Every structure is written in C-alpha cells, then in structure tokens.
Structure 1
Amino acid sequence: TGTLMVTRVDASLEHGAGRVPLPVLMFVVGAVGNLVAIAALSVSQRERKSSAFYTLVCGLAVTDLLGTCLASPITIATYLDPHVLMDSHLCAFHSFLLLFFSLAGLSVICAMAAERYAAICCAFKYRRWHVDRSFAQRVLLGIYLSHALVCCLPAMGMARSERQRSNTWCFIEWRSQAPVATAYTVLYGATSLLLILGTILLNLAVCGALLLMRRRTVTQPVTRASVRERWRALSSAAETQMIVVLVTTSVVVLTCSAPLVVSTYTPHVSIYSWIPRDADLAAIRIASVNPILDPWIYILLRRSLFRHIRTVSQRRRSSVRTSPPSSPQTNLFYPDLTRDDHVITQLMSNRMCVSVPHDKKRLNRAVS
C-alpha cells in the first residue's frame, strides 16, 4: 500500500509539473497586462485629473493585478507539490483571496455602472454630490474594507475552507449541511448575484437613457442650434466611448464571474446531481481568465482608437454627403470631461432646452 501511495504521489507530481506552463503563462499575461493598463491610464495628465469613472477603472485594474499576484503563485505551487494546500492556514488564505477578489471585481464594475447612471440620468444630483476622484476613492476604500470583513468570516468560524476536488485550489465548504456554513454560502452567493443583476440593470438604464435623450434631441425642435450640435458631438464621441467601455467590461466581468456564483448555489438545489463533476474546476478557471481580459479592454479601447474609427466613419459619410462639423475632443476614461470641461452642464442644458418646447406648447394650448 505504501509503495502504491508513493507511486500515485510521484505520478501526480509528474502530471502536475507538466501542467505548470499554463498557470505560469496566465500569471505572466495577467500581471503584465494589468501593469501596462495602469501605465496607459496614467500617461495623460488630463486623464490623471479625471475623476470618478477614471478612478474606478484604475481601481478595477489594481484589484485584478493584486488578485493575480497574490493567488496565482499559490496555484502554481500546488501544481508543483500537491501537498501545499494541505496546510490549513494557507488553504484558508487562498480561499480568502478567491472570495475577496471575486466579490471586489463585481462591486467595482457595479460602482462604475452606478457612476455612469448618476452622471447621465441624475446630472443635477451628480454635481450636487460632488462625485469626483476623492469620492470614488472613498467608494473603493469602502468596498475593500467591507469585503475584507465579509470574506474573513470563514476564518472566524462561520464557514470552513477546504481543498476542492482537483486539490489545486481552496474555497468555502459550499456542500456543507451545517446551518451556519449554509447561511454564509447563501449570503455570499446572494451578494454576488445582486451585484450582477444591479450591473446589468444600470447598464441597460444608461444605454436606454442615452439613446432616448439622443432621439429626443434629434427629432424634436430646440431653441438653440448650438445645443443640438453639442449633443451630436456627445453622441458621436463620449456616448460611444461610455457605452463600449462600460458594457464591454461588464460583459467580461459578469461572464467570468457568473459560473462561480452559480456554483455556490448548486449544492443547495435539486439539480446539483445533474452538474458534471468538473464543473467547479471549470468555474474557477473561467473566473481566473477575468483579470487577464480586463486590462486589454482599457489598452485597446483607447481614445486614439476611437479617433481613428470616427475619422474613417466621417470619411465614408463625406463621400455621400457633406462632412458633419468636427466634435470636441473627449476623454475616454472620464467622458464627462471635454476641452471646456462642461459636458455634464451640456447634458443638463439639453434636458432643459428639450423641455422648453413642451412647456410652450402646453401654455399655448391653455391660452387658446
């Protein structure tokens, strides 16, 4: 029996060592990508002065970088030595990392969607609340502290961390029938699910509000021609950038995080027996791809790319009709800022000016 156990351990070591290049490659790509993204976000002086949206984007990049640098070395070590996670303290720490950074990523992307919703749909309150860089930093600090407390609860006895079936990662014991452990699993899963649903609803609200405001501005008469031209500039630059950056990031984060969130619920429902044995491992592997993809969204969707797309689009239009007037230069990572830093004011003036014709019509009807 002892010889058989040694043989199995040697075989597992050889098999694990053969799979080391993949987690090493994921670690290197994730770390380098996030470092490049953070550097790219810090190049422009104007972008550094941008407030809430830019700060939250940087916060998500830093969160992904920390998660990659802290969790990946432990995973690589487990492929080299399957006994690494047999240490209960290291297993609990690895479980904490996965819990924390998964929940933090969802919270930051939800905060980004909420910031865009407030800037577009509640422009007056947005200015009144002084939603700026320091405000976003306080939001990030609140996210980190609150999530650190929630994710420390298993170490305080509310749940137990254990090695999962593949023996390459640790997570909470989500199959436990203990009432306390079940309560924590449901709490964690419900929080993640609410963040996912909140992000989806806020993104839909932002896109719907922008499209509705654009439609009203284009189809209805306005008192000032300049307002209409300003909104055309916004819809051709800032609107496109906001929608693409926010929606693309949201789709990547939610797609990568959803399988792990679903896995926390499946042990407590009747369909659990239908789920494949390796579904948990697939879920955590999909989640580990998230910090690799996120930074390339920030890198590829740079302002220069949008300028090139807009230039090509305008050239194609000019071949059919007269080219539209050039729009002011906008900032990708804080689209509320143009050269004169008054895009929010423009949005509010658009609403006021669009509502003026309705008020005049109602007054004329009342007088007649």
Structure 2
Amino acid sequence: MLALSHYNSSGSLLLPRFSNDSGGRLEATVAMEGLSHQENFTLVQPTTSGIIVVVLSMTLGIVSNIVALFILVNAYSLQRRRSKATFLLFATSLVVTDFIGHLIPGALVLRLYLSGGVRPEDYSSSDGMCQFLGGSMVFFGLCPLFLGCAMAAERCLGVTKPLLHSSLVTTTRTKVSLSIIWLAALCVALLPCFQLGSYTYQVPGTWCFINVLNNTDEVDVAFVVLFSGLGLTSLAVALVCNTISGLTLVLARLRRQPGSHHSAKSHDIEMVVQLVGIMVTSCICWSPLLVFGLMSAVRSYTGSIGEDLSRYKNLMVMAVRLATWNQILDPWVYILLRRTVLRKIYLIAKCQAGLRSNVLGHWEPTPFQSSEKHEVHQV
C-alpha cells in the first residue's frame, strides 16, 4: 500500500509533539484526525487493490485491441470487395486509435495514481503533464466518435446508393478522410494552447480534463460546448445513418425472391450489425461524460452549482471511468459480431431448437392415439 501525506505550512505549526507514552500517542492521533477534518492535512492512500484494478483494465484493453487488430488486418488482406475493404480500413484505424488512446492516457493516469495524485489546492494549476493528459483525453475521445460517424455515413451511402458509393468512395479518399478526422480532433485538443479553454486536474487528482468546476470562465464553457457538441452530433448522425441502413436491408430482405443470390447483402448485414454495436457502445460509454461535463461547466459558470459541487465531482469521476471502457469494449464488437461467429451461434441455437422439438415430438398424443386405434381395429 502506498501512502502520501500532504500538509500546508499552517498545518505544520499545529502538529503535536510525540512522546513515548501511550497518552502522547493518543493525543497525536486525535490531533492528526482533527487536522484532516479541518482540511489542513490531506492524506491520499492509493490501495493495492485499486492499483491492481487499473493494471488489469489496461491489460484487458491492450489484449482486446491487439486481438481485434489481428482479425481486421487478416480480413483486410483477404478481402476483394472494395466496399468491405473500405469498411475494414475504417475499422482498423478505429482499433489502432483505441489502442493508442488506451495506452498513453492510461499510463499517465497510472503514474499519477502511484504517486498519490496532486493536492486539492493544486487542482486549478496545470503543468505540462496535465496539458498533455487533458489533450489526449479530448483527442482520443473525439476520434472514435468521428470515426464511428464516418463509418455509419459510408455504409449508409453503400446500402442506399451502391452505384454512387462505388464511384465516390475509393481507398485514396478513405485515407484522406481518416487524415482529416485525426487532424480535426487534434485541432480541438490543441485549443488550450491558444488560450481557448484550459485543462486542469480533476478529482481525485489523478486525471486531467477541461476545466468544468474550478473558476470556469467563458472560454472554458465554449470549449466544453464545442467538445460535447461535436461528440453528441457524431452520435446522432451515426444513429440516423445506421437506422436508415438497417431499415433498407430489412426491406430488401423482405422483397427478396426465394432462391435468389444474396451473398452481397450478407456482407452488408454484417457491417451494419457491427456499426450498431459500435454506436451502442459509444452512446453508453461517452454520453454521460459529454452531458455531465457540459452541465458542470454551465452551472459552475453561472454560480448555481452551490451545494451540488461534490455530487458533480462524483458524476464526472464515474463518467470518465465509463468512457475508458469504450476502448475496451470496441474491439469485442469485431471479435464477437463477425459473420462466422454469428453463423456458429445461429447454427448452435438452431440445433438446440431442433433437439428440443424432437424431444417434445416423442410426447405428442397423436402417435399414442393412432396406435390405440390400430389395436382396436385388430380386435
């Protein structure tokens, strides 16, 4: 167990003198507790179990992204259909972004956690490490949302307008689009370098994000509005595009003639299912941080946060922990929602249903009735 004790100059003058008797030790303990309640003495004790949880989550995220990256790269090298290859290129870029976004900020947070974090009175300050960590949080937060939106729009065009998609979407244009997405997220993350917003330490002093609770001013509110607005807009566009793609595929399957060739549609169904999985994961993991960050900044700027300050701090901590799971769950969308895996699950479920129907068929009353009638006729 690691322990880090911080105390200010006014608290150090009040520290008791320790004696060898039990009474002196008791007085020292009481005095230390009194100072901690007066917030002159701050004790931060990262537990061993907490460190183990952080290490295990980082390990799980790294392994998951590596497995998904191997699957996507292998599928991309074997793919001959251009529309599927474009989707796999987007998906591979998303997994690489998730992997780096899980590794770099996770390592910095773990370093802060092991050192005990910063003191509460230093939350408003911002050093180079905090600036880098806050920028990484914003950059690797916007990139998956932008990529998910671009993938949904590309699939919507491919499903609804296949001829237009084949003429517009090429590998070169896809790579240019990826570069634009990363550049746009980087520009947003670097805005505090131009005094357009700021990054500060957040409770419990082990991570950095946009200043939403400590002396929030106009540029901080504008920065949060931009970040949350871009994120929520990306989720909304992805929802609309995936809904259109899904309805189009369902209608096409209902209109399909029996015995017709539908292998191309099966590829489209697989890609849309994976996009829906990505969208649901992003909505669950990122929506709380986008909404709570915006609410915290607005209420802090207007001065109406009042006694709810501690509650908003806890909400921000829970929201950022939930957001980190997006980079762990995203790879499992490609691992579990592949066509081969879905087909095996379907066959297993079909076999189980067939066995159950066969077992129930042995207990149907019709065979017994027919046998009884046959015996009566014989008599």
- TM-score, normalised to structure 2, is 0.73
State how far apart, in whole Å, the 2-side matches of 1:46 and 1:282 are.
Answer: 41
Match of 2:134 in 1: 95
1:107 aligns with 2:159: no
SS at match of 1:43: helix
Report % sequence identity. Answer: 26
Query: What CA RMSD, in Å, does the superposition of the two structures yield over aligned residues?
Result: 2.8
Aligned residue type for 1:21: I
Shift in Å, 1:15: 3.0
Aligned residue type for 2:294: Y
Change (3 A) 1:234 1:43: closer
Match of 2:206 in 1: 168
Match of 2:64 in 1: 33
Q: Which has the higher contact order (CA 8 A, sep 6+)?
A: 1
1:241 aligns with 2:270: yes
Comparing 272-281 with 50-59, greater Cα deviation is found at 272-281
State how far apart, in whole Å, the 2-side matches of 1:312 and 1:17 are.
Answer: 43
Match of 1:359 in 2: none
State how far apart, in whole Å, the 1-side matches of 2:236 and 2:182 are.
Answer: 20
| CA contact 1:51–1:132 (8 Å) conserved in 2 | no
Q: 2:88 aligns with which of 41, 49, 54?
A: 54
Change (3 A) 1:87 1:126: same
Match of 1:251 in 2: 280
Aligned runs of 1:62-211 on 2, under 5 Å? 62-83=96-117, 88-129=127-168, 131-175=169-213, 176-211=215-250
Shift in Å, 1:51: 2.2
Match of 2:369 in 1: none
Match of 2:373 in 1: none
State how far apart, in whole Å, the 1-side matches of 2:339 and 2:256 are.
Answer: 25
State how far apart, in whole Å, the 2-side matches of 1:316 and 1:239 are.
Answer: 27
State how far apart, in whole Å, the 1-side matches of 2:233 and 2:341 are.
Answer: 34
| CA contact 2:157–2:165 (8 Å) conserved in 1 | yes
Shift in Å, 1:174: 2.1
Shift in Å, 1:16: 4.7
- How big is each residue's C-alpha offset from its partner over 1:99-130, in whole Å with a ceiling of 9 and x where there is no partner? 0111111001111111110100121210111x
Q: Mind listing any 5+ residue stretches in structure 1 that lack a counterpart? A: 219-224, 320-368
Q: 2:50 aligns with which of 14, 19, 41?
A: 19
Q: 1:286 aligns with which of 322, 331, 334?
A: 322
Aligned residue type for 2:166: R
Match of 1:307 in 2: 343
Shift in Å, 1:196: 1.1
Q: Mind listing any 5+ residue stretches in structure 2 that lack a counterpart? A: 1-10, 16-31, 356-379
Aligned residue type for 1:80: L
State how far apart, in whole Å, the 2-side matches of 1:213 and 1:182 are.
Answer: 46
SS at match of 1:51: helix
- How big is each residue's C-alpha offset from its partner over 1:227-278, in whole Å with a ceiling of 9 and x where there is no partner? x6123x455x324412321111111122101111102211215996665540
Q: 1:264 aligns with which of 266, 273, 293?
A: 293
- Kindly name which structure, 1 or 2, has the bigger radius of gyration based on alpha carbons: 2
Aligned residue type for 1:153: L
